[in-house]
Amino acid sequence: MTHYLSAERVAEIIQKRGIGACITGVASYINQDFLRWNSFDKCARVANHSDVGVIELMPIADDKSYAFKYVNGHPSNYRFNLPTVMAFGVLADVETGVPELVSELTLTTAIRTAAMSAVAARALARDNCKSMAIIGNGAQSDFQALAFHYLLGVDTFHLYDIDSAATDKLEANLARFGVTTKRFSSAKEAVKGVDIITTVTADKTNATIITPDMVEPGMHINGVGGDCPGKTEIHGDVLRMGPVFCEFEPQSRIEGDMQQMPADFPVTELWTVLAGKVAGRTSEAQVTIFDSVGFALEDYSALRFMRDVALEMGLGETLSLIPAMDNPKNLFGFIGEDVAQTVANGATAGPTSAATSVTSARSTPAFVV
């Protein structure tokens, strides 16, 4: 039996445990796992692109657990009243290959992406950052704001989106958390004077939302939305203003804002900073840039967190994805004793005929763990 966390169940976990606790918890798991960077079998994600979007698989494993995420990116999904990004994922046992957990990852990805941004900013931004501009006020933006609030103490948010209804939504959601929000009518005005700039826009284009004239000394730029080939947010000259940090270099060079830069453009993998091997920021006036694209290890961490909390709270259902057999070499026997009779009939009658009625006593249990 595979443990199953639906979207409703993860929402319940976040409600009951608290979103601050969940973001903090996922950040802590990410930090732990990034410190074990070389224990993981890593690859760039595998993408199938279409004219309107992308569907990706993101696998990773250490010697104990395997994880993968299914995730799409369809910027025009609002036309169908669907999210731009939807995801689910799996944790499996490396020793046997058994899938142990299937979980929604739409909510969880929003939390882990925000937690990753905050973990990076803790290592790269100036101390005592208090203000952040958020350019792009869609589904991910609330989580970004709260991650920086809970992990760095940021309490003032400058908001801008081409869709003012998105900003309405973000303002309303953040109002309940005792933070200050200010609305602006352009990205340029929104970023003026802030400590941190977060870009989290959805358009699949080579945009230049942040240009060099908008960047002030000491700023940290958290570039989240430029995350697949043909989708960038930050002008190349901004990337040249300060050291650039990324998650997994082979993937970020293809998918990040860095895709604009030559192959030898210098970049530092964040785990080396977290592990104390490489310096992050080296002066107060330096501009630092985290070119985030989202890496499989973050989903591994987030899946571990959700599983651990769900087990602790006794939440979740089960799925019967794998046949349970007395003799695993007798997979055929799982179909049932009477299959030969049906088979003969079915085959004679042809594939589209009505089948002989065989009553099955099997059922799929769905009970709380």
Q: Which strand (E) or helix (H) includes residue 29?
A: helix 19-35
- Smallest separation (angstroms) from a copy of itself to the CB of 277: 26
Please tell me whether residue 53 binds a copy of itself under the rule CB under 8 A: yes
Tell me the site size for a copy of itself, rule CB under 8 A. 121
Is 227 noted as a catalytic residue in this protein?
Answer: yes
E-assigned strands of 113-155? 131-135
Those residues whose C-beta lies under 8 Å from the C-beta of residue 78, and which sit 6 or more positions away, are 84
Sheet containing strand 99-104, edge to edge, reads: 46-49, 54-61, 65-73, 87-93, 99-104, 2-5, 317-319
Q: Can you tell me which of 35, 36, 39, 52 binds a copy of itself, judged by CB under 8 A?
A: 52
Phi and psi at 89, nearest 5°, equal -160, 175
| Residue 157 burial by Cβ neighbours in a 10 Å radius (0-12, 13-18, 19+) | buried
CB-CB contact of 158 with 186 (8 Å): no
CB-CB contact of 122 with 151 (8 Å): yes
- Nearest residue (CB) to a copy of itself, 173 versus 268: 173
Which tokens go with 347? 């085959």
- Smallest separation (angstroms) from a copy of itself to the CB of 304: 13
Please tell me whether residue 25 binds a copy of itself under the rule CB under 8 A: yes
Q: Give per-residue burial for 317-355: e unless 16+ CB within 10 Å, then b.
A: bbbeeeeeeeeeeeeeeeeeeeeeeeeeebeeeeeeeee
- Smallest separation (angstroms) from a copy of itself to the CB of 240: 33
Question: Chain centroid to CA 109: how far?
Answer: 3
Contact positions with a copy of itself (CB under 8 A) in 298-327: 313, 317, 319-327
Question: Chain centroid to CA 354: how far?
Answer: 45
- Smallest separation (angstroms) from a copy of itself to the CB of 317: 6
x-marked contacts with a copy of itself along 233-262 as a string, rule CB under 8 A: ------------------------------
Contact positions with a copy of itself (CB under 8 A) in 169-228: 169, 173, 176-178
Q: Can you tell me which of 110, 152, 159, 215 binds a copy of itself, judged by CB under 8 A?
A: 110
- Smallest separation (angstroms) from a copy of itself to the CB of 359: 9
Please tell me whether residue 294 binds a copy of itself under the rule CB under 8 A: no
Q: Can you tell me which of 21, 279, 285, 311 binds a copy of itself, judged by CB under 8 A?
A: 21
Q: Annotated catalytic residue: which of 33, 161, 195, 227?
A: 227
Torsion-angle region of 218 (φ positive above 0: left; ψ -120 to 50: alpha; else: beta): left
Q: Can you tell me which of 35, 60, 158, 238 binds a copy of itself, judged by CB under 8 A?
A: 60
Please tell me whether residue 162 binds a copy of itself under the rule CB under 8 A: no
- Smallest separation (angstroms) from a copy of itself to the CB of 218: 27
Please tell me whether residue 349 binds a copy of itself under the rule CB under 8 A: yes
